[in-house]
Structure 1
Amino acid sequence: MCDSTFAIPSEFIKNNKRVYKLAETVDVIIEVVDARIAYSGANLLNYAKLKQAKRIILFSNTKKADVKQTEKWMEYYREQGIYCQMLLSPDQQSEEEYQQCLLGFNKFLKDYVDKKILIVSLPHSSKEILLEKLFNNSETFEKAKLALFGREKIHRYNNVEFIDTAPITGVNFNTPSVYWNTQILGIFDIDDNTEVVAIKAFKLLLTKYHEKLQAAYSAHVQLKSSVDELIKEFIKLMSANISLPDGETTDNLLLCADFLEDIQNGKKIPAISLEWVQDYFK
């Protein structure tokens, strides 16, 4: 189980400290946030101590998320005075749509000539999508994706200085819901925790997306109160979708890994959000 003493992965500790020091020197902070975890993927810095910086949230993976929930999150953040925009990947839209998506952002940059902008995110946030388009240098950023724990990279664009940082965990990573939801999306290594994470995800989808879950696996399942009953329902659901020779039993670890992959790629179970505004802010 995750609790208040959960340790931040050691490889991120230096990144977190370095990025925070950089944040103290900039005029704007852009958070590229997976729309499926609009709370866990955001709030990555202690903004109470960074009052000088304007904050922007760009939502990625928006086609994999529940658009209604993304819109509610955008409304919530905008009410806090935070600029929000959906960011679509190249394979999800036409060139014309992409240009429209970036038009408002480029207009915004005109107010920040000779200023500094910091770009932060969790790992695997797709922030390279924004950078590729801004700097028209896809080869460079394809290589940058491999440098998970590298130092920051600095670019100038229209007389604005962009500081592209290495991924960080964020100040809210010790919060249990943040921990579990980032694990469900495979943002951090969960090899030793796959079964627990899968059951957490299964319970969440049973609660939020019962019909989508049943449609995806062509099986009827019920929300159960005990962990043992949930596991039985999960195995029933997943086993119904595989063919086993007589006498063989299921590999529960494999079932769990397959289920999490189905959630992460957004194809078999489309358009779901793990976090809803109403669950965090009444």
Structure 2
Amino acid sequence: MIEIPSIQWFPGHMAKTRRLIQESLKLCDLVLEITDARIPQSSRNPELDRWVGAKPRMILLNKADSADPKATAEWIEYYRDQGIPAIACDCRSSKGLNRFLPTVKEMLSETLEKRKKKGLIGGALRVMVVGIPNVGKSSFINRMAGSKRAKVEDRPGVTRGRQWVNISSDLELLDMPGVLWPKFEDPAVGEKLAFTGAVKDDVIDIELLAMRLLGYLRQEYPQSIEERYKLAGTNYQELDEYDLLELVGRKRGMLVSGGEVNTERAAITVMDEYRSGRLGKITFDRPVKQGEQTDE
């Protein structure tokens, strides 16, 4: 597994974010958690469930256009079974975002009805937006806000590090700072964050990362690398991960003097082609369904 370097700004940054979230919950009607549809579980802060408690929750599976549609459907069903509505979307193109506000209103229909009975008509629903860095929180807020720019407003409950964004007369978003967590208990989580670029490549061995990616794709999406790197007719399924990377480099003609493969160049190519979508729609996390949990 890929070993991710320790995050030096923890625990101060995370502790501050936890306080901000817990202090702000009383100001909000609902919590929107944005995740990466390619790694729906690995891109969730495991502390968030405890921080948010019983507050109504919705999940936005962003970057769904780059994820395996079958896997995304499985995740939406998985969250629905937990009582959490989930929407697949792509915040860069706005695809799927038209379902966001209607879902919020449906989830908060009782709240809206109570306000109506009290004569409180016209007040905006307030949604807290949370998520780890690089899952697309800014893209979501900018898309929802249109031409409006996010700004800090002079109102109770707003402190440095969080911003109220007026979307419409119906909706206000509270943007919270993104934060990772101190230790990846499962090394595979750090690996998947690295695949998708949530962890910077300059702190990771790029060849090792590409080897692990090729190993995963060979097992779960063999057609993606077989077609892209013309591996049909080879023994690529039997090779170790380094030899597989070397084979890819050889197929691409990435040779140096003596006929050896430039594996660093091959690794960079593999990662670039995955992240640009040329290896297809890939998902690295699958939901564990009831009855599939293994005994400790």
TM-score normalized by the length of structure 1:
0.79
Q: Please give the alpha-carbon distance, in whole angstroms, between the structure 2 residues aligned to 1:47 and 1:98.
A: 24
How far the C-alpha of 1:31 sits from its partner, in A, is 1.4
User: In structure 2, how many angstroms separate the alpha carbons of the residues matched to 1:91 and 1:196?
Assistant: 32
Residue matched to 1:187: 198
CA 1:99–1:152: 2 relative to 1, 3 Å? same
Identity of aligned residues (%): 17
Per the alignment, in what secondary structure is the counterpart of residue 15 of structure 1? helix
Partner of 2:226: 214
Alignment of 1:202-241 (within 5 A): 202-220=214-232, 222-224=236-238, 229-241=240-252
Answer yes or no: is the 8 Å Cα contact 2:132–2:179 preserved in 1.
yes
Report the equivalent of 2:275.
264
Tell me what 1:66 maps to.
68
C-alpha distance after superposition, 1:101-127 (max 9, x if no partner): 654346556747566532122222122
In structure 2, C-alpha distance between the alignment counterparts of 1:16 and 1:276, rounded to whole Å: 27
* Structure 1 residue 124 corresponds to structure 2 residue 138: no
**Amino acid in structure 2 at the alignment position of 1:51:** G
Deviations along 1:88-112, one digit per CA (max 9) or x if unpaired, are: 234375xxx6535654346556747
Q: Does 1:24 align with 2:22?
A: yes
Deviation at 1:34, TM superposition (A): 0.9
Structure 1 residues 92 and 154: alpha-carbon distance in aligned structure 2, compared to 1, 3 A threshold: closer
CA gap 1:40/1:128 in 2 versus in 1, 3 angstroms: same
Amino acid at match of 1:24: Q
Q: Is the 8 A contact 1:43 1:171 kept in 2?
A: no
- Kept in 2, the 8 Å contact 1:44–1:169? The answer is no
CA shift in 2, pair 1:163/1:14, >3 Å: farther
| 2:137 partner letter | K
**What pairs up with 1:24-173 in 2 under 5 angstroms?**
24-25=22-23, 26=25, 27=28, 28-91=30-93, 93=95, 98-100=97-99, 102-105=101-104, 108=107, 111=111, 116-137=126-147, 151-157=161-167, 158=169, 160-170=171-181, 173=184
C-alpha distance in 2, partners of 1:235/1:272? 22
* Cα 1:13–1:189 shift into 2, 3 Å: farther
Distance 1:244 1:177, change over 3 A: closer
Q: Indicate conservation of the 8 Å contact 2:132/2:180, yes or no.
A: yes
Q: Output one character per residue of 1:48-102: Cα deviation in whole Å (capped at 9) or x when no partner.
A: 3532322211011111100000110111111111120112234375xxx653565
> C-alpha displacement at 1:242, in angstroms?
3.4
Whether contact under 8 Å (2:78, 2:289) holds in the other structure is no
> Would you say 1:197 and 2:196 are equivalent positions?
no
* Distance of aligned partners of 1:273 and 1:177 in 2 relative to their CA distance in 1, 3 Å threshold: same
- CA-to-partner distance for each residue in 1:179-232, whole Å, 9 max, x for gaps? 11001111112324212211111111011001121112222353347xxx2211
User: Structure 1 residue 45: deviation in Å?
Assistant: 2.9
Cα separation, 2, equivalents of 1:180 and 1:84: 25
TM-score, length basis structure 2: 0.76
2-structure distance, mates of 1:243, 1:2: 25
RMSD: 3.2
Q: 1:2 to 1:263 in 2, by over 3 A?
A: closer
Residue segments in structure 1 that go unaligned for 5+ positions in a row:
142-149
Give the unaligned 5+ runs of structure 2: 113-122, 152-159
Moved more, 27-36 or 271-280: 271-280
Q: Deviations over 1:147-199 (max 9, x none)?
A: xxx93322244365522122211477332121110011111123242122111
Maintained 8 Å contact 1:120/1:165: yes
